[in-house]
Amino acid sequence: MRSFIDVSPGSDFPIQNLPYGIFLPNGSTRARPGTALGDWVVDLDALEKAHLLPTKVFSGSSLNDFMAAGRETWTLVRSTLQVLLSEDNSRLRDDMDLRSLALFPRKAVTMLLPAQIGDYTDFYSSREHATNVGSLFRDPKNALLPNWLHLPVAYHGRASSIVVSGTEIRRPKGQTKADNADPVFGPSRLLDFELEVGFFTGPGTTIGESISIEKATEHIFGFVLVNDWSARDIQTWEYVPLGPFLAKNFATSISPWIVTLDALEPFRCPGPKQDPEPLPYLRSERDSAFDISLEVSINPPNSDVENVVCRSNFKHLYWNICQQLAHHTSGGCNIKPGDLMASGTISGPEKGSFGSMLEITWRGTTPVQLSDGTERKFINDGDTVVMKGVAEKNGIRIGFGEVSGKILPSV
Ligand code: CA
């Protein structure tokens, strides 16, 4: 399948991908839904108004209505778009007036948050990450707490401070305490990233209702990259007994394009073997891991070189997205369209695949060398952290674009 719009071979956004986002054309004040195709953005509101889509969900400035519409509608819109944009379909290809109305160069738009995010949950589903953190903060012999292999652990995060890629991040201030010293208040000195992938939920449920593991994908719209910025010194002092608070709530960055489950279907794969066997409500015969390569780079100011500090893969996650959603709702907690559920830091088994500086530098004991000759234990002011993700097979490349954020000094 090819489009009449030229898509370069290395592009993250061929016609097989068609991720959804909210964009603002330069010079316009009206944000609207779009899909990415090569170096272009296709205006879905314009196509809907031209009666080329089977929906009435794209006139607003978020994707929540489309998310609420459900899987049948998502699949229908996707197949309609693929037909409309294919090289042998003349409807849009030869309608120059509509093309000038509906096609924008990606360089000429600003991407915004794709949804009004009502709630944000952050899981802790990588066994390697949980083991590393347990070893660093507690005891290497009992790194995993007793519940970890029985349920997908998570905490409820802060939705109001989720920002889109490119937003600058102010180094947070907070209370910290060194060993044998009194607590102090000031800028965090151990600012970190966490490499994560999150999914947006689709149709909502009512309080008291649960989503079975078999029905979970009916409620999963698609994925974004997530950087769960973390202030390790604030976290160390505050996290007992109720978990992270100000160490995490100052900002979370996400990539702007939501890659759909339909686009990622060819990349479904088995996850890690689960032992002990999960309880029945978390059991499924179906593979629900996805083979998505992930990488993180730290780029100091005035540097053009990408310093890759981590290469990991979404398939390493011990608890999969269906188990996460089934568990989240098993007690009767409702979900709404546009909730964000992040995976937790995705660390692989080897050192080069750890998804946070905490693990990469083993709490600062083995610093990373950057190409400009400087070294990092954590993230400095002026550094830009960039995360990328791509699934690739048989010449088809389903990319996520990136989530990036530059660190500004505390004020
Ligand atoms: Ca996290």
Number of domains in the chain: 2
Question: 107: alpha, beta or left, given left = phi > 0 and alpha = psi -120 to 50?
Answer: alpha
Residue 143 CA, ligand 1 centroid: distance in Å:
17
Q: Is 316 a catalytic residue?
A: no
Tokens representing residue 71 in the block = 């899987």
Residue 265's CATH number: 3.90.850.10
Helix, strand and coil content of the chain, in percent to the nearest 5, comes to: 25, 30, 50
Does residue 3 lie within any of the structural domains? no
- The catalytic position among 51, 129, 150, 219 is 129
Q: Which two tokens stand for residue 168?
A: 């600058």
132 and 65 share a domain?
A: no
Residue at 345 is within a domain: yes
Residue with tokens 């992930």: 294
Same domain, 244 and 278: yes
Distance 108 CA to ligand 1 centre (A): 33
The verdict on 157 and 242 lying in the same domain is yes
The Cα–Cα gap between 300 and 237 comes to 28
DSSP-based three-state secondary structure for 256: coil
For residues 185 and 164, what is the distance between their CA atoms, to the nearest angstrom?
Answer: 28
Rounded Cα–Cα distance for residues 331 and 261 (Å):
25
Are residues 136 and 56 part of one domain? no
Same domain, yes or no: 180 and 69: no
Residues 237, 245: Cα–Cα separation, whole Å: 11
- Considering 112, 135, 169, which residue would you say is the last residue of a domain? 112
Q: Please give the residue range of the domain that contains residue 323.
A: 120-408
Distance 155 CA to ligand 1 centre (A): 9
pLDDT tens digits in sequence order for the chain, 411 residues long: 999 999 999 999 999 999 999 999 999 999 999 999 999 999 999 999 999 999 999 999 999 999 999 999 999 999 999 999 999 999 999 999 999 999 999 999 999 999 999 999 999 999 999 999 999 988 899 999 999 999 999 999 999 999 999 999 999 999 999 999 999 999 999 999 999 999 999 999 999 999 999 999 999 999 999 999 999 999 999 999 999 999 999 999 999 999 999 999 999 999 999 999 999 999 999 999 999 999 999 999 988 889 999 999 999 999 999 999 999 999 999 999 999 999 999 999 998 999 999 999 999 999 999 999 999 999 999 999 999 999 999 999 999 999 999 999 999
Residue 6 resides in a domain:
no
Whether residue 336 contacts residue 194, with contact meaning beta carbons closer than 8 Å, is answered with no
Verify that 58 and 187 share a domain, yes or no.
no
Q: Which residue has the tokens 């949980």?
A: 130
Domain harbouring 99, CATH code: 2.30.30.230
Tokens encoding 51? 């009666």
Q: Is residue 80 a contact partner of residue 54, using CB atoms and an 8 Å limit?
A: yes
Q: What is the 3-state secondary structure (H, E, C) of 65-92?
A: HHHHHCHHHHHHHHHHHHHHHECCCHHH
Asked if the structure places residue 327 within a domain, the reply is: yes
For 336-400, give the DSSP string.
Answer: -TT-EEE------SSGGG-SSHHHHTTTTTSPEEPTTS-EESSPPTT-EEEEEEEEEETTEEEEE
Where among 53, 82, 112 does a domain terminate? Answer: 112
Q: Is residue 143, in this structure, part of any structural domain at all?
A: yes
Residues 6+ apart with CB under 8 A from 249: 157, 158, 161
Statement to judge: residues 301 and 274 lie in one domain = yes
**Rounded distance, CA 335 to CA 325, Å?**
9
Burial classification of residue 332, based on how many CB atoms lie within 10 Å of its CB (0-12 exposed, 13-18 middle, 19 or more buried): exposed
CA 125 to ligand 1 center in whole angstroms = 9
Ligand 1 centroid, distance to 198 Cα (angstroms): 10
Cα(231) to ligand 1 centroid in Å equals 11
Helices (H), 28-158: 44-49, 64-69, 71-85, 90-93, 96-102, 127-137
Whether residue 105 has a cis bond before it, omega within 30° of 0: no
Residue 364 CA to residue 221 CA, distance in Å, equals 38
Q: Give distance in angstroms: CA of 252 to centre of ligand 1.
A: 9
Q: Give Cα 148 distance to the centre of its chain.
A: 22
> Within a domain: residue 5?
no
Indicate whether 184 and 157 sit together in one domain. Answer: yes
Together in a domain, 219 and 88: no
84 plus 126 within the same structural domain = no
pTM comes to 0.98
Domain-located, residue 184:
yes
Q: Does one domain contain both 310 and 205? A: yes
28 is a domain residue? yes
Q: Are residues 105 and 246 in the same domain?
A: no
Please name the residues in contact with 386: beta carbons below 8 A apart, sequence gap of 6 or more. 296, 297, 299, 306, 402, 403, 404
Look at residues 112, 137, 172 and tell me which one is the last residue of a structural domain: 112
Sequence-ordered list of residues with C-beta below 8 angstroms from that of 4, at least 6 positions apart, any chain: 85, 86, 87, 89, 92, 93
